[in-house]
Amino acid sequence: MSGDIAWFRDAKFGMFIHFGLYSQLKRGEWVMHQDAIPAAKYADLAQQFAPAPGCAREWARLAKRAGMRYVVFTTKHHDGFSLFDTKLTAYNSVTTGGRDYVREVVEAFRAEGLRVGLYFSLGDWHYPAYAAVTSGDSSQQGPLREFIHGQVCELLTQYGKIDLLWYDGAFYDDKYLSAEILDATGLNAMARELQPDILINERAGTEEDYVTCENECKPAPYGVDWEMCTCINDIWGYAEHDYNYKTVNQLIFLLVNCATQGGNLLLNIGPRSDGSVPEAQVERLEAVGAWLRTHGEALYGIERLPKAFSGNGRVTQKDGKLYFHTLYWPGSTMRLPNLTPKYLTAGSRVCPRKS
C-alpha cells in the first residue's frame, strides 16, 4: 500500500455515479441478470445509448454544490459495456456511439477541482471467458485475467492522474473470481506502477488502502481507513419507480456518522439514460451542500478519536480543537458531556467551562 491517503481522509464526502446501458431500461443496474435478458439482445441497447452532450459537466457541478470532494464513476458495470476507449473489446461506447464517457467525466470533475475515482467491475456478463470461468472452465482463467488486467491498464494510462481505483463484481463469487485467479496482487502492483499515488479498495480480495461497506455503516477498526457507499434512494442505477428516498436529515446523519468515525460517505446518483439527474436527488444533494456551507468546518479534515461516542453525539478533533456533533437532542435543553482527557490526542484542547 502506497497511495496518497491524506486527501481521502480529509474529503469525507464523494459522489458515486451508476450510469450505463441499463439506465435505458429504468429498472436498475442488475436488470440484465434479473430479467434474464440474453447478452445479444441486451447489447442492442448500445445503439440507442445517446446521453445529452455536457451531462458530465452537470454531474460535476452538482457534486461541487453538494460539497462533495471526489467522484467514483462506473467505467464498466457487471453488464460488461465499457464506457471508455478500449482496444480489448468492441463492446464499448466509443465504438458504438463515438463517445468516451470516462474522458468526459474525468475532464469535467477535474475542472471543478475534484478528485477522480474509477469503478471497474471484475465480473463481466458479456465477455465469453467470464461465462466459461464461472461455469467451471478453468482453461479460460488466463484469458479472463489478461482481459481484466488489460482494461485496468487502459483506464490508468489514458486519462492522466487517477486518484482511486474502485473494484466491484468479485466479492459475491469468490470461488471463481478469487484474488489468486485474478492475480489481484499483480493487478494492483501494475496499478501502483502506473499511478503511484492511487488509492485502491479491497474488493479484488487483497488488503489495500481502504475498506468499503455497502448500505450499512460498519466503521473499520480505529486506524483503518474506510468508506460507506449507499444510494439516495434504494437502487444504484436509474429505477423509474424507486421513490424510497432518504430525507435530507437522514443523509446528513449518514455523512456525520461516517465522518466522525473516520470514514467517508460515497453517495450515489443514478442518472436517467439522457444523463439528467432525477430532481429528487438534485434537491437533496443541494440541501446537504447548503448544510455543509454552514457546518463544513466541523466535518472536512476532522480526525477520528479513539473514543468518538459521547452522550447524544460524536466527538472529533481538528487543528487542536474538539468538535461535538449532536445527533439527538431530546427535550428543550441539552447537557454537554464532560469532555475529559480520555477524548484527547496530542495537541487537543478543551475550552474552559463556565461556572
pLDDT band at 314 (very low <50, low <70, confident <90, very high): confident
- Rounded percentage of the chain residues whose pLDDT exceeds 70: 92
Q: Tens of pLDDT along 132-182?
A: 999 999 999 999 999 999 999 999 999 999 999 999 998 655 688 999 999
CA atoms within 13 A on the CB side of 32: 23
Q: What is the pLDDT of residue 266?
A: 98
| More confident: 265 or 308 | 265
Contact 218, 228 (CB under 8 A): yes
Cβ-defined contacts of 108-112 (< 8 Å, 24+): 108/56, 108/57, 108/59, 108/60, 109/56, 109/59, 109/60, 109/63, 109/70, 109/71, 110/160, 111/57, 111/60, 112/60, 112/61, 112/63, 112/64
Q: What is the pLDDT of residue 254?
A: 96
Q: What domains lie within the chain, and their CATH numbers?
A: 6-298 (3.20.20.80), 303-343 (no CATH)
Mean of the pLDDT values across residues 1-24? Answer: 93
**pTM for this predicted structure:** 0.94
Task: Name the phi and psi angles at 258, rounded to 5.
Answer: -70, -50
Mean of the pLDDT values across residues 40-67? Answer: 98
Quote the CA–CA distance of 272 and 12 in Å, as a whole number.
26
The set of residues, in sequence order, having a beta carbon less than 8 Å from that of 278 and lying 6+ positions away, is: 238, 270, 271, 272
The x, y and z cell numbers of residue 151, run together, are: 482494461
Q: What is the pLDDT of residue 306?
A: 83
Nearest to 270 by CA among 17, 22, 38, 10: 17
**What's the whole-number average pLDDT of the chain?**
92
Place of cell 471526489: 70
Mean of the pLDDT values across residues 258-266? Answer: 96
Place of cell 439506465: 23
Quote the CA–CA distance of 99 and 19 in Å, as a whole number.
14
| More confident: 248 or 317 | 248
Q: What is the pLDDT of residue 189?
A: 98
Mean of the pLDDT values across residues 38-44? Answer: 97
Mean of the pLDDT values across residues 330-335? Answer: 77
pLDDT higher than 50, residue 349:
no
Report in angstroms the alpha-carbon separations of 311 from 335, 339, 340: 9, 10, 13
The set of residues, in sequence order, having a beta carbon less than 8 Å from that of 240 and lying 6+ positions away, is: 26, 27
pLDDT band at 248 (very low <50, low <70, confident <90, very high): very high
pLDDT higher than 90, residue 124:
yes
- Rounded percentage of the chain residues whose pLDDT exceeds 90: 82
pLDDT higher than 60, residue 261:
yes
Q: What is the pLDDT of residue 167?
A: 98
Hey, is 64 helix, strand or coil?
A: helix
| More confident: 334 or 99 | 99
Place of cell 466522525: 260
Contact 4, 14 (CB under 8 A): no
Task: Name the phi and psi angles at 264, rounded to 5.
Answer: -110, 155
Mean of the pLDDT values across residues 204-209? Answer: 95
Contact 284, 251 (CB under 8 A): yes
